[in-house]
Structure 1
Amino acid sequence: MTTAPVDGVTEIVDPADPRVDDYRELNSIAVRAEMEGDEFFMGEGYVPIDRMLDSGHRMRSVLLHPKRLKRFLPTMERPEMAGVPVYVAEQEVIAEIVGFNMYRCCLASAYRAPMPTVRELAESCRRIVVLEALNDDQNVGAIARAARAFEIDGIVISPTCNDPYQRRTVRVSMGEILHMPVARAAPEDWPAAIETLHESGFETWAMTPADDAVDLWDLEVPDKVAIVLGAEGHGLEAATMRATTHRVRIPISPVVDSLNVGHAAAVTFAAVGRPRGVRTTA
């Protein structure tokens, strides 16, 4: 190790060491999904790791490049880190562990918390975002970060939506996804989960660029609202659209076809969060 030994830190010299099995094949979504299951997830970077601790997720271990250790020392002093193994390894060892050349690694694994059901989430929230079949980790992360910024209370994801705790999602969200309750609808309950929201008093807004949809700025925001977003390109399924209360569009310049789903989410969240009685139309 290029730095002096530190109490509570163990150097890994053998890439096959089973103590770092949590960190293998990080770039393979299929392998990671099978490996992590509903048991644990990964965080990458100082801020996401702090969010892991802040959000109450119980840590499993930490893996660092030696040059990352000094800045991580204050985090090691947190009571939540008591008894958590902290490993350091040189660049070439880390590359063999994770499966690619990860520059100055800063990783942690933590146990997943149980997910609430859609009904449980609906009964405890006033503002929800619903994601159908989003398959881009960065978009899911960006939406989660915006949701926290604009005080959205929870997230419902369809059966085919990406894992909200995938490493890139956690990183792009700056760990904010970890502070939000997430419910995944079962395959047999989709899109019927939209009706579950209605039964709990929610209006549901299906976001679409269609010209015949209701203008976002013309809608009164109800006490309980769920914003329903689909994947870029394909958008929401027709059955999901039909299940919602309103089809809603964000008015944009005609020279632009549509917004990135993360940007569209942030605009809608901001509109929903505006003070009651404030109108944006003349």
Structure 2
Amino acid sequence: MWRTNLKVALLGLAVIGFYTLIAHIIPQLESEVPEVLTLGADASPEALVEAGERMYNGAGACSACHGLGTRAPNLLTGGGGLGPIGSRCGERVAGTPCKDYLYESMTEPGAYVVAGFENIMPDMRRQLSIDQIWAVIAFLQAQGGEVTVTGADLAQDAAVSSGGSMPVAATPATASTDPQELLAANGCIGCHQLAGSGGAVGPSFDGIGGRMTPAQLRQSILDPGAEVAEGYDQFAGMMPATFGEQFTAAQLEAVVKFLAELR
């Protein structure tokens, strides 16, 4: 009997050792953590603008749509002779100051959609912290206008956020596991085409299952900078690296499975 028990124990240890080895061999993908801002109530306008520029061109991936002027208005040059956003944001909605309009545009983007463009922008509170959002607003105001954002705005919203009434950055945009709803809620269609509709900043989702394996799709979502698709080098770094926090495990696998079946 003891020999049988010993064999069972040894077999169990061998199985555990085997799977432990496999776990160490498989690459562990981690989503890049967005830059943390330490700006406080005494932050200067210059510091806010500098931080906002980094967010606009980096973690916020704003230039992916707004820099082209095709999927969203060009905020820095103002196509059609309109001028940069800082020179006209105070006139976009009657009676609404510039910084309030920009804040609403980033946190409730469906409230006012510019004519000629689709409502594809996600609530940026899912991707950026409140400090980061205000920094981006300061940067946008600096484009031809006066920076009225102050450290007091950051402190005020920090107090509201701590009360639990404001979404926290890098959290699921929806509780659904429906892949098409997830792609829409997270703004993916703004850059990728699906069923012939969407942006062209990233590779089309149509037929992507025939071009990439599920493992490659998963990596491209969690670590978009690991490998850039051929022909999209100019857009490298624009896709947010925060989906590892924004998607639950079930949501991630639902999206991967859906994309893998698009052939």
Same fold (TM over 0.5): no
TM-score, structure 2 normalization? 0.25
Question: TM-score, normalised to structure 1's length?
Answer: 0.24
Larger radius of gyration: 2
Looking at secondary structure, tell me which structure has more strand per residue.
1
Structure with the higher helix share, 1 or 2? 2
